Structure 1
Amino acid sequence: MEQKGIERVYRDVEFLTSLRPFRNYLNTDSLNKASHYIYESFKQYSDCVSFQEFEAYGNTYRNVLCSINTEKEERIIIGAHYDVAGDTPGADDNASCIAGLLEILRLLYDKKTRHRIDFAAYVLEEPPFFGTEKMGSFIHAKSLYENSVKIKVMISLEMIGFFSDKKNSQQFPLPFMRLFYPDTGNFIGVVGNTFQRKITVRIRDLMRKGSDIPVYSLNAPSIIPGVDFSDHRNFWRFGYNAVMITDTAFYRNPNYHRRTDTIATLDFDRMYSVIKSVAYAVLNL
């Protein structure tokens, strides 16, 4: 069964990385093909699927939203962005996580979770929109806040497919962090802000139970480069608990924002372990 899951995830990454022109903000046709693919994939497992459209630079862009167990009031949001930076295939960044998002839905759609689970595929995470109020995740987080939606935690999936067993393959923003984390890039990280250590550690511990992938956590302020480099940042802005699940991006992956970020560089066995561990955490939060 797990091999079939790995094959599904591979096909999802393969589709997204094969789109041409590349799925950046300039190429709305490719973004629409990606969003349609995600929408149709969501529809296979939920009747509660929609587009959230908004305008930027004179174009219409859209998040893709899906929910299960909608009778529950408090929500867990799982999000990942489907756009890429520039002319890059974006296998790890961030097709790996859209594939992960779809597979988590497949693993959980028929489970009775304690919370409503919302799955969000975001557009415009990458430059030139990163850090602005035109990020798809800002649009989503703001709408939830304005509607007083109760959220237990938002989980942002940001690059989950690149691993290395080579010594010193893992880099860090601050040298002293080598004292607390492995120097081999074969683990996954759970990153939260300084004030949300409890939920960060809880998710880390559940992920450790959910699969055999090594999982480490970090709580740090946003002044540390990379801590807020994804869609969770916009949920922090509205006071929600939010964490990022990541292979640490440019601190490990030399293909970050390059044309070499291809499907051939991903470790699908380990990636699937991450997906299973997140699904287990969501089921047991």
Structure 2
Amino acid sequence: MKTSLLLLICFFNLAIVAAAGTDTLKLQQHLVAITGTAQARNHQNPEALNQVAHYIAKEFGQLKGQVREQVYTVADTEYRNVILSTGPADAPRLVIGAHYDVCQDQPGADDNASGVAGLLELARLLNNHTLPYRIDFVAYTLEEPPYFRTEHMGSYIHAKSLKEEQAVVKGMISLEMIGYFKDEKKTQRYPVAPMKLFYGSRGNYIAIVQRFGNGSFGRSFLRNYKNEAVLPVKSLRAPAFVTGVDFSDHLNYWHFGFDALMITDTSFYRNANYHQPTDTIHTLDLQRMAQVVDGVYATVLNLK
């Protein structure tokens, strides 16, 4: 009887741990909804973008916190960021973001439905925790060309608003392509060939990318993430001019003086489906994608 009771308790505890982690079924649900628009969710199809924005807002709306849209106009067309803010309104804030638009006509499962699905799961997982800081979960529009590196990027609009509010920002985390992994040799490329000697040729890790001089937030996040992650974690801290280092929404937070980093599967340095019609859900590894999200979740809980 005692043995049976002990086994039952162990099973119950394991069930609690499993329930606390990222749900791959929810990730899949989000990926299907985000990639399933009739038209590609690019700047030329605002109806598709609005459909995805509505889905994100609906998912955010099931959680505690304030949901709002940050609407702005480009070329007489309205675009919107979708934001869920949780925690004390006057506390320092952490920004976690991912862009939901795509480049041209492609489903964009890894780029960047994977990041948005991860964002939605992080919001759900963190929603039951009382933290001493505010979190802004932000789904950005217009990250992709032709608006990349312009003031029309959704992340530029959001970062600028924080600067104008004189908000105290702990740091920003950009989730940029977190679903593609390969274990075979020669599946990982680099902007500089000798990097392969240090990072290896297998695309089986998640990367945390920062620029030189990024501040204490990035160092603390990286240290804690390495402690929490199940996946191999590799860090790149380099000048912003190194190709790929600033290839996402974190670059706009740098522009306004905020610490920011990118979590990525390294994009086109690994995934040949980048900006192609072949960037579909079927190419993604949901188990390892969930492990990426779990690592961020545990790290955020331990932020000081």
Shift of 1:181: 1.0
CA distance in 1, matches of 2:166, 2:216: 23
1:162 aligns with 2:177: no
1:47 aligns with 2:71: no
Contact 1:67 1:118 in 2 (8 A): yes
Identity over aligned residues, as a percent? 47
1:259 aligns with 2:280: no
The match for 1:232 is 250
Shift of 1:17: 1.0
1:141 aligns with 2:159: yes
The match for 1:19 is 37
* 1:147-197 Cα deviation digits (max 9, x unpaired): 100001000010000000010111000112122212100000111111026
Shift of 1:274: 0.1
The match for 1:73 is 91
- What is the aligned counterpart of 1:97 among 115, 125, 149? 115
Structure 1 vs Structure 2 CA RMSD: 1.3
Q: What is the TM-score normalised by the length of structure 2? A: 0.91
SS in 2 for 1:94: helix
1:86 aligns with 2:104: yes
Shift of 1:216: 1.1
SS in 2 for 1:264: helix
Contact 1:125 1:231 in 2 (8 A): yes
1:199 aligns with 2:199: no
- Return the index of the structure with the highest Cα Rg: 2
Structure 1: 5+ residue stretches without partners: none
* 1:29-65 Cα deviation digits (max 9, x unpaired): 1100000000010011123000000000110000001
The match for 1:248 is 266
1:280 aligns with 2:280: no
Contact 1:114 1:283 in 2 (8 A): no
Q: Which amino acid aligns with 2:66?
A: C
Q: What is the TM-score normalised by the length of structure 1? A: 0.97
CA distance in 1, matches of 2:223, 2:202: 20
CA distance in 2, matches of 1:187, 1:203: 17
SS in 1 for 2:194: helix
Shift of 1:283: 1.3
SS in 2 for 1:65: strand
Structure 1 outlier segments of 4+, above 4 Å: none
Contact 1:17 1:89 in 2 (8 A): yes
SS in 1 for 2:199: coil
CA distance in 2, matches of 1:197, 1:166: 35
The match for 1:38 is 56
Contact 1:197 1:219 in 2 (8 A): no
Shift of 1:205: 2.3
1:181 aligns with 2:199: yes
Shift of 1:145: 0.2
The match for 1:131 is 149
Structure 2: 5+ residue stretches without partners: 1-17
* 1:231-253 Cα deviation digits (max 9, x unpaired): 00000000000000000000000
CA distance in 2, matches of 1:17, 1:212: 27
CA distance in 1, matches of 2:216, 2:86: 26
